[in-house]
Amino acid sequence: MRTENELVKRGVARFNACAVRWQASPRVGKLVRRRMTVISYTGRRSGQTFSTPVAYRRVDGGVAIDVRLPGAKSWWRNFLGEGGPLTLRLDDADRAGHALARQDDRGRVVVTVRLTEPDEG
């Protein structure tokens, strides 16, 4: 018998797979990309590179990611404490940034990403 947490994790994985397909869609991709992107980062303990779709909102100097169901996800824990680097796709370009996760006393998690300036070549 599956636990509730396993079912939530499975649902999150299915949604993520759909979100990636929606972003690439010629019909709805542009609309989806206004609020969703894929972040890529290196795991603190594993050293592996991971990519995951997230919903975001623009804030001054970067983006904020409200982590829904944070107990069923672990990616945001890579950005606790001092935070860490990641890349994300915005306006059809890969952007680098520094992400910092904060969890409030009610368990809500927000990851704030301060974007670095693009290289001027």
3-state secondary structure 46-72: CCCEEEEEEECEEECCEEEEEECCHHH
Q: What is the pLDDT of residue 9?
A: 63
Q: How do the pLDDT tens digits run along the chain, 121 residues long?
A: 567 667 666 665 666 655 555 556 566 555 555 578 889 999 988 999 998 889 999 999 899 999 988 988 889 999 999 999 999 988 878 999 999 999 999 999 999 999 987 654 4
Give ∠ CA 21-24-28 in degrees, rounded to 5.
90
CA distance 80 to 8: 23
